[in-house]
C-alpha cells in the first residue's frame, strides 16, 4: 500500500475537502456552457426575466431551428448550416494534408538526416512562433496570384502552411524516440523511403496522430482571423457566420438564437475532445522519453 493511500485513509476529511474543491472548480468552469445550453432552449420572454441559471419553464427548439437556418453574411441570409459545412470542407483536408506533410518532415529529419537538417528544423520550428497578423498581407497576395482568394480552397492552403510547423514538431519529437535499428533492418531488407514510412513508422504513430488531429482540428475549426480575412459571403467558415449572426441583430437581441448558434459551432470540438481527449496527453508524452 502506498504512503499516499495510507494518508488518505487516515485523513478522510482532507480527502473530502480535496474533492469539494475540485468539484467547485469544475462547476465554475462549466457554468458558461450551462448558461449557453439552457438559454438556447428558452423563449425570449423567460430570458428577459433575468434568471440565467434557471431551467426553462417552457422548453423550445425554435431557437435551434432559427440558428441553423438564419445566419446572415452581409445582406444574404442562407443559414448556419451552409457555413457549418464550409468549416467541414476546410478542416478535413487541412488536417489531413498538414498532418501527412508533418509526418514526412519528422520522418526525414530523424531517419534520413542530411547536412543542415538541424538548421532546417530550426527554421520550421520558428514558423510556430510567427503571429497570425504578420502573414495576412503576404498570404493574401499569394492567394490572389493562385486565383484561390475568397474560397474554401484558399483557406485550406492557409491552414496547411501555418500548421506544418506544429505537425512537424510533433512527429519529429515522436520519431526521435523511434528505434533506429528497425529502420536500418528495413533498409537492409531492401525497403525504400516510402515503404519504411507507410509500413513501419506510420502504423506505430497512432498516439501522435491523435495529438495532431486534435490540435489541428481545434485550431482550424475555431479560427476566426484567417476566415474573416480571406473569405466572405458563401465561402466563410462558421466562426465568421456566428460573428455576423450576433452582430446583425437589430432591436431586441435574440440571445436564445445566438446561444444556439454558438452551441452548433462548439459541438464538433466538444465531440473530438470527448472521444479522443484522453489520448492527447498520452500522445504528447509518448515521445518524451528516448529508449
Domain locations along the chain: 3-60, 72-286
Q: What number is the average pLDDT over the span 90-95?
A: 96
Determine the Cα angle at 172 with ends 287 and 284, to 5°: 35
> How many other C-beta atoms can be found within 10 angstroms of the C-beta atom of residue 15?
13
Paired strand residues for 73: 76
| 3 has a pLDDT exceeding 60 | no
The per-residue pLDDT for range 132-178, each reduced to its tens digit, is 888 899 999 999 999 999 999 999 999 999 999 999 999 999 998 88
The per-residue pLDDT for range 268-291, each reduced to its tens digit, is 998 888 887 777 766 666 655 444
Which of left, alpha, beta for 173 (phi over 0: left; psi -120 to 50: alpha)? alpha
The per-residue pLDDT for range 232-270, each reduced to its tens digit, is 888 999 999 888 887 776 666 788 888 999 999 999 998
What is the per-residue pLDDT for 172? 92
Distance CA 15, CA 36 (A): 32
pTM over the 0.75 mark: yes
| 78 has a pLDDT exceeding 70 | no
Pick the CATH number of 72-286 from 1.10.287.620, 1.10.3720.10, 1.10.150.530, 2.40.128.20: 1.10.3720.10
The per-residue pLDDT for range 99-145, each reduced to its tens digit, is 999 999 999 999 888 888 889 999 988 888 888 888 899 999 999 99
Amino acid at each position: 500500500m502506498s504512503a499516499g493511500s495510507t494518508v488518505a485513509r487516515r485523513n478522510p476529511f482532507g480527502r473530502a475537502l480535496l474533492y469539494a474543491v475540485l468539484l467547485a472548480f469544475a462547476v465554475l468552469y462549466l457554468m458558461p456552457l450551462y448558461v449557453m445550453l439552457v438559454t438556447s432552449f428558452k423563449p425570449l420572454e423567460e430570458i428577459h426575466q433575468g434568471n440565467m441559471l434557471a431551467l426553462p419553464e417552457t422548453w423550445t427548439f425554435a431557437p435551434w431551428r432559427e440558428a441553423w437556418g438564419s445566419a446572415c453574411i452581409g445582406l444574404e441570409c442562407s443559414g448556419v448550416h451552409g457555413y457549418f459545412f464550409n468549416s467541414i470542407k476546410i478542416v478535413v483536408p487541412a488536417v489531413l494534408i498538414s498532418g501527412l506533410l508533418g509526418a514526412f518532415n519528422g520522418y526525414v529529419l530523424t531517419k534520413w538526416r542530411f547536412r543542415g537538417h538541424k538548421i532546417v528544423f530550426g527554421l520550421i520550428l520558428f514558423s510556430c512562433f510567427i503571429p497570425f497578423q504578420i502573414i495576412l498581407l503576404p498570404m493574401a497576395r499569394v492567394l490572389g496570384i493562385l486565383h484561390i482568394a475568397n474560397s474554401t480552397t484558399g483557406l485550406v492552403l492557409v491552414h496547411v502552411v501555418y500548421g506544418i510547423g506544429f505537425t512537424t514538431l510533433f512527429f519529429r519529437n515522436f520519431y526521435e524516440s523511434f528505434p533506429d535499428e528497425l529502420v536500418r533492418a528495413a533498409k537492409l531488407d531492401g525497403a525504400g523511403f516510402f515503404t519504411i514510412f507507410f509500413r513501419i513508422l506510420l502504423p506505430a504513430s497512432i498516439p501522435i496522430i491523435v495529438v495532431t488531429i486534435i490540435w489541428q482540428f481545434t485550431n482550424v475549426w475555431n479560427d476566426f482571423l484567417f476566415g474573416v480575412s480571406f473569405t466572405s459571403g458563401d465561402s466563410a467558415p462558421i466562426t465568421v457566420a456566428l460573428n455576423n449572426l450576433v452582430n446583425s441583430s437589430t432591436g431586441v437581441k435574440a440571445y436564445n438564437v445566438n446561444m444556439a448558434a454558438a452551441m452548433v459551432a462548439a459541438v464538433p470540438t466538444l465531440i473530438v475532445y470527448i472521444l479522443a481527449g484522453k489520448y492527447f496527453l498520452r500522445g504528447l508524452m509518448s515521445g518524451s522519453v528516448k529508449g
